[in-house]
Structure 1
Amino acid sequence: MRRVSRHVGEVKIPKVGWVRFRWSRAVPEGVKSYRVTRDRAGRWHVAFAAIPEPIAGPGTGAAVGVDRGVTVSAALSTGELLNAPGLRENEAARLRRLERKLARARRGSNRRGKIKAAIAKLKARESDRRKDWVEKTSTDLARRFDVIAVEDLNIGNMTRSAKGSIEAPGRNVRQKAGLNRGILAAGWGHLGERLEHKAPDRVQKINPRYTSQTCNACKHIAGESRESQALFLCVACGWLDHADVNAAKNMRDTAAGHAVAARGRSGLPGRMNREPQPVLLPA
């Protein structure tokens, strides 16, 4: 790898030779391993394997709960409601038109190939925006808080198709498919992964059971308190809050309790012995 100019570099690919690329971000010294890929939009990327330095916390002991959802991508215990950006209204309308054209295009035709390429470019644009949002959000949380509490979710199982088989067909397949798309569009898995990369040993995974039904003020548990997707009204004490923010506050309190218990046992903040994992930094 060598730099040609401020924004241009070259990497030597076996059997190909020196290939130029746009130098879009800093690459740590001594990096030798890299990977060249082509995405579904036809764009080529080169990514270098490196272990990034973790982001230092503020050192104030501040904790935050992060409740991930579909309507609100990430609700913080501070009251902030964050949403992953998607396609703009005109872009979404164009995507729908292209999908209708694709359904009418003859398989194997040049027209069908051009339509699929246009759809891939729009979806790649949406994915790029979501990844950018995840990077900025995870960096902001790692810098502002010493303890970050997230739900311990098996996202792979949650987004599994409900189609079933011929012998045992699934139910509400279309509704489940829509939920799966919403979960993936909100970037749940990517956000949790990047938080663990940037704030190692400071991310606590909390059992999500009853977090959305528990009142943060009086700790009363009742499903009836969740009046709607956005409203939490405690049937016991009358506490009113945004439902996702209330759940994030419960996770924050649980994580703070775990941190206090860990310090009591060892005299040190709770840390897990874990080797740093290499992360591919896109150039």
Structure 2
Amino acid sequence: MLSGRRYQLELTAVQAEQCQEFADVCRSVWNTGLEQRREYRRRGAWMNYAPQCKELADAKREHEWLKAAPSHILQQALKDLDRACRDHGTFKVRWRSKARWAPSFRFPDAKQISVERLGRKWARVKLPKLGWVRFRWSRPLGGEIRSATVSRKSGRWFVSFLVDDAAVTPDLHAMPGTAVGVDRGVATAAVTSDGEFFDREFITPGERTRYRRLQQRLARTKKGSTNRRKTISAMGRIMARVTDRRGDFCAKMAAHLVQKNALVVLEDLRVKNMSASASGTVAEPGRRVRQKAGLNRAILDKGWHRLELALTSAARYTGTTLVKVNPAYTSQRCYACGFVTEGNRESQSVFVCKNPGCGNVDHADVNAAKNIRHAGGQPVSACGDLGASRSVKQEPGSRATGQAT
């Protein structure tokens, strides 16, 4: 099974300059290749990896600066571009901006990569044209190296090894028959149908104050100035710590859930669409833009998508099945009787069933998580039950009568 291992590099000044140069060349190759593909598509023709790779070899004979980077990392950049264009479409693939793109490049040939342990805390890796590079030995490799990716984040360089750890996904979970529903929210990051609450603050009050002051300083700096670069770097260091905490939180929660459950059920949320801006256009400006921006920040801060990715990765080692269901009316439907109405949810945390024959009281997020678990891979209809015979456009009503409320 393929898995990733990331370590912080300890580069010399010359090696750091080389890494930046390699990344710049890869960025240029990506942008040139993308422009070429778009020009071909405008004329109704196609351009793929193989002819672009041949043209790259010809370009290296004409342009000396292309020879600064190893050939196979440039070829890998074209391979990544080819895959991105096939998956998303040529005109939807983004340019790699010098200001917004995190520099990175990949060494795909494992035969040219060597790793040696130097001590308890340090090791070194031999990479083409970089030579031996020291890195902090924060965890064992745990497998055979397949490739290595060098990247920069918040002023620090890292190496990520893709390793084959020889693990095999179990045919059966250690606790078959167990299942849990997970409701993701903005007040609490995740709540399970078992009544467990998972949440934490990813940024400290001091960091939040510091970041706000840096934003104010950034607004006063001149574009392209040294002070602006320093301010952006300081902001990046704060956000890097926040991102690492969020990743650690999601990984630990995912490991906890897949170890205890053979089935994990999530809502099928389109996080990218849910966190889109409501600003609209000049002709048709959006409404309640500031409120929507606050909701977008809350959604992204809780790491909904990152939790889903962590669950997908962790489930491979336990044999857990991950299922996504339709999120419609999971927060308004009573888990006990199936009665659906908007008034069931009295507040963010209180759920009281308005069905006279039920009166179920529960935490609103726990009730939603129970509905998610109960769906268990079947789509939840707009009526709030699991029936597939009713129209999804029908107004929500009682499960017993089907009348609209």
TM-score (norm. length: structure 2):
0.60
Matches of residues 186-201 of structure 1 in structure 2 within 5 Å?
A: 186-200=302-316
Structure ranking higher in helix proportion: 2
2:284 & 2:261 partners in 1: Cα distance?
47
Which of 230, 246, 253 is residue 367 of structure 2 equivalent to? 246
2:288 & 2:126 partners in 1: Cα distance?
51
Q: 3-state SS of the aligned residue for 1:32? A: strand
Which of 159-168 and 140-149 deviates more? 159-168
Which of 129, 148, 161 is residue 34 of structure 1 equivalent to? 148
Matches of residues 78-117 of structure 1 in structure 2 within 5 Å?
A: 78-117=194-233
Q: 3-state SS of the aligned residue for 2:362? A: strand
- The offset of 1:120, in angstroms, is 1.0
On the 8 A contact 2:190/2:198 being kept in 1, the answer is: yes
On the 8 A contact 2:325/2:376 being kept in 1, the answer is: yes
- The offset of 1:91, in angstroms, is 1.6
- Equivalent in the alignment of 1:202: 321
Q: 3-state SS of the aligned residue for 1:140? A: helix
Give % identity. Answer: 44
Which of 124, 127, 139 is residue 10 of structure 1 equivalent to? 124
Q: 3-state SS of the aligned residue for 2:311? A: helix
Instruction: Give the superposed CA RMSD.
Output: 2.0
- The offset of 1:99, in angstroms, is 1.5
The one-letter code sitting in structure 1 at the alignment partner of 2:337 is C
Which of 234, 250, 257 is residue 353 of structure 2 equivalent to? 234
Structure with larger RCO (C-alpha < 8 A, sep 6+): 1
Q: 3-state SS of the aligned residue for 1:114? A: helix
- The offset of 1:256, in angstroms, is 8.2
The one-letter code sitting in structure 2 at the alignment partner of 1:135 is A
TM-score (norm. length: structure 1):
0.84
1:194 & 1:82 partners in 2: Cα distance?
14
Which of 343, 349, 352 is residue 224 of structure 1 equivalent to? 343
2:162 & 2:262 partners in 1: Cα distance?
27
| Greater C-alpha Rg | 2
Unpaired runs of at least 5, structure 2: 1-114, 380-405
Q: How many residues align?
A: 257
Which of 251, 255, 259 is residue 143 of structure 1 equivalent to? 259
On the 8 A contact 1:152/1:207 being kept in 2, the answer is: yes
Which of 161, 169, 174 is residue 58 of structure 1 equivalent to? 174
1:121-166 residue CA offsets vs partner (Å, 9 max, x unmatched):
1111111100000111101111111111111111121122222222
The one-letter code sitting in structure 1 at the alignment partner of 2:188 is V
Instruction: Indicate whether 1:22 and 2:141 are aligned.
Output: no
On the 8 A contact 2:175/2:260 being kept in 1, the answer is: no
- The offset of 1:73, in angstroms, is 0.4
The one-letter code sitting in structure 1 at the alignment partner of 2:372 is M
1:82 & 1:29 partners in 2: Cα distance?
32
On the 8 A contact 2:349/2:363 being kept in 1, the answer is: yes
